[in-house]
Chain A
Amino acid sequence: MTKTEEKMIVNGKRIDGRKPDELRKIEMKVGVISRATGSAHVSFGNTVALASVHGPRELFPRWMQESESGIFRCRYNMAPFSVEDRKSPAPDRRSVELSKVIKLAIEPALFLEDFPKATIDAFIEIIEADGSTRVAGINAASLALAHAGIPMKDLIVACSVGKIDGTLIVDLNGKEDNNSECDMAVAMIPTKEKVTLLQMDGVITRKEFSELLNLAKENCKKIYELQKKALKEKFG
């Protein structure tokens, strides 16, 4: 997708008709992959993420095992058909980095010390990409872990915020992402209001940073309610 000269905010509305602080239609469902210990499907508008969790299971090769604690591994991947120009299926630098930061974003919620010598593996597959894929992936992986029955301190919730045409917005779609002045991904432990992932690029002032962080917090709380609802639909 390319940059356009098109105005991104007209009469206070965004290109898809949303208000600046409005999330897209969010759908969440757990238990979508029967062979996985836990799984989830999360969509934000046209962005679709699937996540499955395998384990806890014994970790091979053995030299990778930790005697006092389990490990958590995470892979983020975009399907070749998820974007306009086919993406090569080989892992690119972006996926390698995102897999690392997503792992670190989720790990604080787990009790890995309860699983010595074991691994818990989370796989995130972006089936369709229309902006904010990493946060959709984090929400899905967090739900899949809960669905797998793995004890967690809390769910991890993520959302994207940004700045476009000078306006602060939430949940960027693909076109907005390509034309934004700044985009910022935030993941947090919602009940503690602690941040586990923060990535920003673009140009903003110090004050805008504080405003964006708060906007992310408010919307993470909304997404948290949807996550809990999805789990209750399955188990409640």
Chain B
Amino acid sequence: MKIENLHARIGDREILRGVNLEVPAGEVHAIMGKNGCGKSTLAKVLAGHPDYEVTEGRVMLGETDLFSLDEPDERSRAGLFVAFQYPMEIPGVTIANFIRAALQARLGKGEELDAVEYYENLYAKMDALKIDRNFTSRAVNEGFSGGEKKRCEILQMAMLDPTFAVLDETDSGLDIDALRIVSDGVNALRSPERRMIIITHYQRLLDYIIPDVVHVMVDGRIVMSGDKDLAKKLEKGGYEWVEKEILSAA
């Protein structure tokens, strides 16, 4: 997964101003930054949100040029998954039917998902995430607590088995117990083939999901990268510390 000189804007406002980032297979990278630095925008731009316009740069997903795929569903089927900070409610559509439709969309014409296998797989993943069985008949995200929404996102990720996952503020709105369950779920999905980006505002999540690399984003660019200790330094010194470091380096 390689992001090269990515620029993107919403209306006249440029939000991403030359993002460069490479995530090798099997690695988990964290992106940290203040509110408004562009980290959530990065997730939406990768997914193909229609509000954003990419003005420059490219993103390679293995051998695939991500921007050669216009529609968000094409990018998803190419292996990209985004866990959203605020997942949408889809009234009347049950979780079981929703995930089933997503898996069905990955099959060829005339192929039908095996219902028995599907439910076995779904229940196994739910058990691992400590999700109650009756959850499957609830409408997607409708009336969910913050913790339930995040668990539902991780459940979808586990079921769709992406090669590249972006988790946007997965820790927000979680208490300690929920944070542990969600983190365990994410850690269980680490594999030599999968690449993940964890977007977070706080260092807290990174105590549970230990990243291989931590990046700091300021004003739509990655300004600093380092190992997991960078997150701790950031926590201690705050973003003023980053700004000072950058100035002294310049």
Partners in one complex: no
Chain B interface (Cβ < 8 Å from any Cβ of A): none
